[in-house]
């Protein structure tokens, strides 16, 4: 889909269909020219409600407001409404809100994210009839905008949306097709395409790095583990970030076997790693002045005669000993070693990890919201602000000293699960905190994306399946931090 800004008014642009938004159920706006027909068709202008009128060559879509996420969702609904037509060229005006850049990007992202369909395994492929979109610089409320700047906003949004769809594709792939080795191959391909540095460690490399926790999780799988380290190093980097992603390409629960109904969708346990790859793709293509390292731990958690067991004592990369009491708390073991690796090799200004870590986070925040955890209030606030501006939902879960006591072990340095069934998302994050060096505590942010990463029903501009959670908000946070880094104390 090619999306271009035009200085021409809408009336002078030739297209098959014009997308017209009904904002706040206001049918009196002069752009609404089919009021009687819309009433006849039962169109009330509810958010994401659409009505295609071929005779007038218009597709109407309802928006509750000009808030960027309403706009993003509305344009996704509009593109979906055209999916079974032969409409190839669409035009529309601008719907600018408080921030013009934000709404232009929202319109663009909505169309690309809404047009996504995962049909890799389908005999009949999805139809994507709309090939061209022309956006007039004429605004719904008469706001002025520089057309050249608007095209820049469109191009930025296209890059981020395509990186999100790239992430969705990786997550949606079946576990037999997206093994740890294949995920590493995908990362190498991305590095070659986007001129990134790339290191891949196999089992021998993990042993040399003394990653005993990571290796234990991988033992019973026929597919060997991989650690991937991608690096984007522009000449003008203002700061350095390490992104660490959990890449469980499949999680059976290990010997602490999951019930059958909970094993379905466990291909999505690699969502954190896939998000990191998507962020690396977007950052390098946008040319952001930030040095970004993407580190993913890719493995399977399976069962077998050599599987790691409850009661085992593992030794992580930093020498910390871990008592295993549940083999289904495996992602934190992989992340622990990868976080140690990131701190040792990168020495970042910021350290972020992404993981579908706990069902407890979904219980706490619901399916659509990412859990943010860490020590630094300023960092959590800045990331939450960026997520809101990007259209992703976050909620902060607080640490406390009482929960920390629940992961104590009588025979090792730490236990891999809490002694209580409550507060599981927080105690999992506090386990990871044991592997964050003291000087990095206020640089670290943990993102539990277990809720939004993979949902088995469509929501907003997200299809059933993978959403690409983490990509858009992280890129927004990096862009936001570029503007403020050095002007204020980065850590509080």
Q: Taking the alpha carbons of 27, 31, 32, 33 in that order, is the dihedral positive or negative?
A: positive
pLDDT digits (tens, 9 = 90+) for 451-465: 999 999 999 999 999
* pLDDT computed for residue 269 by the predictor: 98
DSSP H stretches of helix in 366-461: 377-390, 401-404, 424-433
> Rounded to an integer, what distance in angstroms lies between the CA atom of residue 196 and that of residue 475?
17
Domain assignment present for 438: yes
Q: Residue 282 falls within a domain, yes or no?
A: yes
154 within domain boundaries: no
100 and 220 in a single domain? The answer is no
Same domain, residue pair 235 and 375: yes
Q: What percent of the chain has pLDDT over 70?
A: 99
Is 292 within 8 Å of 231 (Cβ atoms)? yes
Local confidence band at 346 (pLDDT 50, 70, 90 cut-offs): very high
Residue 121's CATH number: 3.40.220.10
Whether residue 227 sits in one domain with residue 168 = yes
CATH assignment at residue 422: 3.40.630.10
* Domain identity same for 103 and 168: no
Which backbone phi and psi does 313 adopt, to 5 degrees?
Answer: -115, 120
pLDDT tens digits, residue range 220-260?
999 999 999 999 999 999 999 999 999 999 999 999 999 99
Q: Does 421 lie in the same domain as 374? A: yes
Q: Which of 8, 35, 238, 258 is catalytic?
A: 258
146 has a pLDDT exceeding 90: yes
Predicted confidence (pLDDT) at residue 486 exceeds the cutoff of 90? no
Residues 241 and 106 in one domain: no
Number of domains present in the structure of the chain: 2
**pLDDT grade for 10, boundaries at 50, 70 and 90:** very high
| Residue-range definition of the domain harbouring residue 41 | 2-139
CB 89 within 8 A of CB 15: yes
Is residue 258 among the annotated active site residues? yes
- Give yes or no for a contact between 110 and 75, defined as CB atoms under 8 angstroms apart: yes
Contact 380, 387 (CB under 8 A): no
pLDDT digits (tens, 9 = 90+) for 30-42: 999 999 999 999 9
Q: Are residues 126 and 195 in the same domain?
A: no
Residue 159 belongs to some domain of the structure:
no
pLDDT score recorded for residue 488: 54
Mean of pLDDT over the chain: 97
Distance separating alpha carbons of residues 473 and 383, to the nearest angstrom: 8
DSSP 137-173: EEETT-----HHHHHHHHHHHHHHHHHHHHHHHHHHS
406 and 291 in a common domain: yes
Q: Encode pLDDT of 348-398 as tens digits.
A: 999 999 999 999 999 999 999 999 999 999 999 999 999 999 999 999 999
Confidence of residue 45 (pLDDT cuts 50, 70, 90): very high
* C-alpha span between 336 and 246 (Å, rounded): 10
Are 129 and 243 part of one and the same domain?
Answer: no
Kindly name the residue from 246, 281, 332, 443 that is annotated as catalytic: 332
Q: What is the pLDDT of residue 485?
A: 84
Is 332 tagged catalytic? Answer: yes
- pLDDT value at residue 34: 97
Indicate whether 302 and 374 sit together in one domain. yes
- pLDDT greater than 90 at residue 446: yes
């Amino acid at each position: 889909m090619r999306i271009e800004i035009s200085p021409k008014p809408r009336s002078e642009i030739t297209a098959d269909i014009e997308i017209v938004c009904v904002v706040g159920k206001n049918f009196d706006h002069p752009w609404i020219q089919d009021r009687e027909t819309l009433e006849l068709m039962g169109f009330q202008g509810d958010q994401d409600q659409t009505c295609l009128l071929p005779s007038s060559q218009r597709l109407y879509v309802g928006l509750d407001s000009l808030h960027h996420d309403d706009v993003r969702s509305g344009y996704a609904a509009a593109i979906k409404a055209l999916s079974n037509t032969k409409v190839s060229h669409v035009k529309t005006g601008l719907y600018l809100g408080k921030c013009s850049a934000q709404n232009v990007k929202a319109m663009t992202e909505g169309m690309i994210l809404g047009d996504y369909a995962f049909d890799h395994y389908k005999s009949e492929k999805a139809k994507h009839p709309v090939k061209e979109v022309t956006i007039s610089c004429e605004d719904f409320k008469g706001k002025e905008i520089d057309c050249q700047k608007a095209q820049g906003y469109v191009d930025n949004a296209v890059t981020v949306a395509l990186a999100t769809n790239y992430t969705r594709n990786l997550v949606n792939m079946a576990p037999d097709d997206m093994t740890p080795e294949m995920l590493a191959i995908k990362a190498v391909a991305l590095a070659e395409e986007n001129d990134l540095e790339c290191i891949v460690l196999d089992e021998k490399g993990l042993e040399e790095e003394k990653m005993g926790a990571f290796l234990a999780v991988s033992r019973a799988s026929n597919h060997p583990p991989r650690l991937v380290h991608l690096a984007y190093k522009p000449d003008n980097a203002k700061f350095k970030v390490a992104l660490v992603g959990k890449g469980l390409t499949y999680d059976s629960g290990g010997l602490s076997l999951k019930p059958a109904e909970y094993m379905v969708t466990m291909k999505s346990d690699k969502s954190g790693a896939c998000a990191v790859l998507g962020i690396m793709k977007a950052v390098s293509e946008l040319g952001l002045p930030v040095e970004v390292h993407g580190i993913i731990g890719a493995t399977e958690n399976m069962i077998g005669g050599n599987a790691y067991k409850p009661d085992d004592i593992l030794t992580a990369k930093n020498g910390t000993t871990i008592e295993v009491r549940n083999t289904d708390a495996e992602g934190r073991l992989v992340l622990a070693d990868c976080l140690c690796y990131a701190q040792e090799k990168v020495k970042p200004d910021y350290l972020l990890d992404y993981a579908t870590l706990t069902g407890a986070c979904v219980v706490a925040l619901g399916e659509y919201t990412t859990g943010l955890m860490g020590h630094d209030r300023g960092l959590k606030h800045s990331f939450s602000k960026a997520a809101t501006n990007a259209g992703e939902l976050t909620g902060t879960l607080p640490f406390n000293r009482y929960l920390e006591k629940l992961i104590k072990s009588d025979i090792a340095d730490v236990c891999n699960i809490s002694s209580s069934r409550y507060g599981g998302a927080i105690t999992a994050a506090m386990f990871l905190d044991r592997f964050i060096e003291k000087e990095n505590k206020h640089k670290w942010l943990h993102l539990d994306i277990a809720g939004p990463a993979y949902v088995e029903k469509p929501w907003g501009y997200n299809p059933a399946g993978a959403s690409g959670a983490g990509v858009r908000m992280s890129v927004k946070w990096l862009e936001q931090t570029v503007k403020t880094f050095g002007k204020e104390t980065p850590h509080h």
